[in-house]
Amino acid sequence: MIAIVDYGMGNLHSVSKAIERLGGEAVVTSDRDVLAQAPALLLPGVGAFGDAMDALRLTGLDQTIIELARGGKPLLGICLGMQLLFEHSEEHGLHEGLGLLPGKVVRFQEGAYKVPHMGWNQCSWKQPHHLLVEGMDEGYVYFVHSYHVLPGEQKDLIATCDYANQQVTAIVARDQIYGMQFHPEKSGELGLQLLKRFIDVAASVKQAAS
């Protein structure tokens, strides 16, 4: 079962339905006990970084997520949810994130291109043998974002895309913490393959612990 963290900011329905289509079980919840008992967590997110962190702190879910992730529970952040995994963001001021991964979130530099970065873009594997992407062909996924992640350590960078001659972080991972800047549930076959791989990873972690 994948517990989708409900903190009032995220495309909960589409992610839940995508997991179910892949044969997984999903529950949308803000209940700490349900989150603690679930084999894996998914942190969605749409909107502003600061507002999202305020919502998590107001409910105490920020500390719950941090404790569970540091305890080894698989966690996947999607879109803004991936950005929240990092130390801080420069979106409308400086805001602290969950601090589970080193790095920061910055706005796209001004230039002769559109912001937000919206639409299909090709993912390129930086670590093709990482378990999240191993055996998969590179392909196109769907992005919608005005800010992007600069990881503090390159070893956490699993995949990138190119936007206006900028390398943009697309997938990150460290231990059982994963992030996807794009929306896998809206990214066709490749997106669903990546989401299924996370479900499989979660299942293997649960089996190893039992």
Q: Reply yes or no on whether 148 is catalytic.
A: no
Q: Reply yes or no on whether 90 is catalytic.
A: no
The one catalytic residue among 79, 91, 117, 123: 79
Nearest Cα to Cα of residue 100 among 130, 127, 60, 72: 72
The one catalytic residue among 96, 130, 185, 189: 185
Per DSSP, the residues of 144-193 read EESEEEEESSGGGEEEEEEETTEEEEEEEEETTEEEESS-GGGSHHHHHH
Q: How far apart are CA 208 and CA 176, in angstroms?
A: 13
Spatial contact of 169 and 161, defined as CB atoms under 8 Å apart: no
The one catalytic residue among 95, 145, 148, 183: 183
Identify the bridge partners of residue 141 per DSSP, sorted by sequence position: 121
Q: Reply yes or no on whether 183 is catalytic.
A: yes
Positions annotated as catalytic residues are 79, 183, 185
